Structure 1
Amino acid sequence: MSKSESDSKAAAAAVEDDDEPDDWDKRIFSTGCAAENTKMNDCYYEKKDWRLCREELENFRKCWKQQQNDKRTEMKDA
């Protein structure tokens, strides 16, 4: 097997492993707000400006409070 074949197989294995939820994903899923988090992050990725994502941020904030994550994490409103 050539080096390039070996490298491409290693890269394919890394992509397959990436489908498994990591610790970060597990923490986000545990909040009950994974969908809102994804929409918020997608908005920022697309627009590159949090000010243009106020609706997504507010939806995430509402979900966070509904799921009582502010109490669980002892988070305080600024």
Structure 2
Amino acid sequence: MFSKIDVKGDDAHPLFTYLVKEAPGMVTKQIKWNFTKFLVNRDGKVVDRFAPQTKPENVKKDIEKVLNE
């Protein structure tokens, strides 16, 4: 479990700075809301980014694909 961190702006945590750099959004590079989801493979490469309103169960196939690579 994480403590509260900033996900955008000047005080953004380095993890989110990396995630946004590797998978910028379609409309804006920034994270719109803290429920933006990132799919990262075993090597730490960002594979995909999902909108906050995307339900976790809707990325199940994407996660399974990455796990089977």
After TM superposition, the score normalised by the length of structure 1 is: 0.29
Rg (Cα) greater in structure: 1
Is the strand fraction higher in 1 or 2? Answer: 2
After TM superposition, the score normalised by the length of structure 2 is: 0.31
Q: Which has the higher contact order (CA 8 A, sep 6+)?
A: 1
Is the helix fraction higher in 1 or 2? Answer: 1
